[in-house]
Chains A and B, each alone.
Chain A
Amino acid sequence: MDRIPILKMGPFLLVTIQVDLYDRLALNLENDLIAMVSKTGARGVLIDISAVNIVDSFMGRILGNIASMSRIMDAETVVVGMQPAVAITLVELGLTLQGVHTALNVEKGMDLLYDRTDLLTTQEDEDNGEAPDDYNE
C-alpha cells in the first residue's frame, strides 16, 4: 500500500505530499504522523502540499485533525506551499484551518517553526559557536 514518507529533520518532522491524496492515504498519513510524533517527541510538523492540486473537505479536515492532535502532543503544525486554487477551494468550503500555521515555502515554514518552538536562539548560538571553527579548518 502507498505510504507517504515522513522525514525526521532535527526536532521536526517533514512530510512532502507529492501525489494527490485519496481518503485512505490521508488517513494512513494521519495515523503514521501521530505515531511518529509520539515516537520521536518532535516539536514541530511541517507538511508541504505544494504538489497537491485537488483538495476536498475531507482532506481539509485531516489537516485540521493533524494540527489539533499534534498540539495536544506539544508539536506545532505548519502547512506550506498551498496552491492558490487550493486555498480558494478551502475557503469556499468554509475550511479556514484555524489553528494550523501556514507559510509560503518550506524554508519560511522552518523559520516559523523555529520561531514558534523557541528553538531559534539555541540553534543560532550553536551556529555562531561553530562557524569560526569551520573557517579555521
Chain B
Amino acid sequence: MNQSAQLLKKKKKTILENWIKNQLTEESLREDLISNDELRRQSEELLDKLTSALEKGNTEDIYNSDFEQVTDILSDISVTRARQGFSPREVTLYVLSLKQAVTDVMEKELRDKPEVLYKEILQFNKLIDSLSIHTFETYLRGREEVILRQTDEINEISTPVIRVWDGILALPIIGTLDSSRTQIVMENLLQEIVNTGSNIAILDISGVPAVDSLVAQHLIKTVSATRLMGAECIISGIRAEIAQTIVHLGIDLSNIKTKASLSSALQLAFSMLALEVKKKNANSFSGKVIR
C-alpha cells in the first residue's frame, strides 16, 4: 500500500477543493443549517483523518482501531446533523460526494495504469460505501434518540392530575391511550389519590381521538384500580362518535359512571360528596361585572 493514501496525501488540496465544490453545487446544500466555513473545517478534518488511517494500510475494515478517529468524526457529524434536521439524503451525500472527488483525481493521476486505477477505485469505493453506511446508521440512531426524548417529554407533559376540589381529582387525557401510557396515567392518578385522600377521580377523555376495545379496556382497568383504592371514578368527555364506537364494539361500560362533559361529571361528583354549589345572589354578581 498504498496508492490511494499517497494520492490522498499528495493531492489533498485538490481533492478537498473538488469535494467542497461538489457539496456546494449539490442541490441539497443547506446553507441555512451549516455555514461554508464550518463545512470546510469538517471536511478537511475528515480528509486528514482518512488519509492517516489509509496510511496504516487498512482499507477493508472500518471498525478496526485504525479508523476509529474517522468513524468518530463521522458519527459526530451525522448525530449533529440529525439534530439539526438534515434529511437522510443530505447526510449520506456528504460522504458519497467525497468518492466522486477522489476518483476524479485518481483518474487523472493513474491514467496510464488502468489496471491499478481499476483496483484502487474499487477499493476506495468499498471503503467509502462502508463509511456511508456507518454514517447513515449513526444518523438514524441520532434521529431515534430525538424521537425517544420527545416521547418521554410527551409522557411527562400529558398526564397532569388536577385537584379541582377538595376530594375531587380530574385527569384530562390527551392523545391515544396505549398500555405504557395507561400505566403512567394509572400510577400518577393512584399516587395522587393517596397523597390528597380524594374520594372521586374524574377521567376526562375529550382529548382521546378514538376509543377502540383496547383503549376501553385500559380505561376499565384504571377505573377498577381506583375503585380498589377506595375512590370512585367518573369518565367524562365522551363524544358522540366515541359513544357510537363503544356501543358498536359491544364494550360494556354500564358499571362505570360516564358523563358527556367535565362539568356534568363535576356536578355528579358534588352530589356524591353531598356538596352544593349555587349562585350567591344574582344581583350582586351582575353588579360586580358592570363595575
Contact = CB atoms under 8 A, between A and B. Distances in A.
Interface of A: 79-84, 86-88, 90-92, 96-97, 102-105, 108-109
Interface majority SS (helix, strand, loop, mixed), chain A: mixed
B interface secondary structure, majority: helix
B197 A90 contact: no
A102 B187 CA distance: 18
A53 to B, nearest CB: 13
A92 B194 CA distance: 20
Interface string B189-230: 011011001110000000000000000000001001111111
B224 A91 contact: yes
B221 A82 contact: no
Contact of A96 (B228, B230, B231): B228
Given A84-B194, A104-B199, A105-B197, A91 B225 contact: yes
B186 interface: yes
Interface of B: 183, 186-187, 190-191, 193-194, 197-199, 221, 224-231
A102 B198 CA distance: 13
A84 B187 contact: yes
A88 B197 contact: no
A102 to B, nearest CB: 4
B189 to A, nearest CB: 8
Contacts of A103: 230
Contacts of A82: 228-230
Contacts of B190: 84, 87-88
Contacts of B198: 104
B10 to A, nearest CB: 69
